[in-house]
Amino acid sequence: MAANSTVITGESGSIKFDVTGTPAVAGSIRNFNIEQTTQTIESTVMGSGARTYEAGLKDFTGTADFYLVDSDTTHDALIAAIGAAPATIEFYPSGTTTGIKLSGEVIVTGVSITSSFDGMVEMSCEFQGTGALTKADIA
C-alpha cells in the first residue's frame, strides 16, 4: 500500500471529472474542499434526563477552485454540468500516485468565473454529492 505515513502537502492534489464517460484530470486546480456530514435523529424519551441521538443519513458537498483555461475540456464539462445528470468525480488530496482517492457521484450546483484587471481568471465550482463518497488507498 502506498499510503502516506507522514504529514503530507496538497501541492500535488488533483481532481478528475467525468467528461465523456471517463474521469479526466481537471487542469490548473488551485484547491478543493470536501465536507462529509451525517444527520442526527433525536431519540430521546420522556424521563431520560438527557437528549439522545442516532446517526442518520450521510451527505457530502464540496467546492473546487481553478485558474480558467479555455482549452481545458474538463473545465468545459464542469460548466456544462450545471443542472445536468450526476457525474463521477475523483479527488486525490496528495496526488494520483500516493495517498488516498475519494470518489463519488455529484451534481454541479454552481459555477462562478471571476476576472479582474490585475489577476488571473478564476473559476469556482460547487457540488452536491448523491450517494456515498468512497475512500480507497492508492496502491
Q: What is the domain partition of the chain in residue ranges?
A: 14-32+64-137
Each residue of 110-137: pLDDT tens digit?
999 999 999 999 999 999 999 999 999 9
**Cα separation of 98 and 119, whole Å?**
32
What pLDDT does 5 receive? 61
Per-residue pLDDT at 89 exceeds 70? yes
Each residue of 28-85: pLDDT tens digit?
999 999 999 999 999 999 999 999 999 999 999 999 999 999 888 899 999 999 989 9
For the whole model, what pTM was predicted? 0.84
**Cα separation of 13 and 66, whole Å?**
12
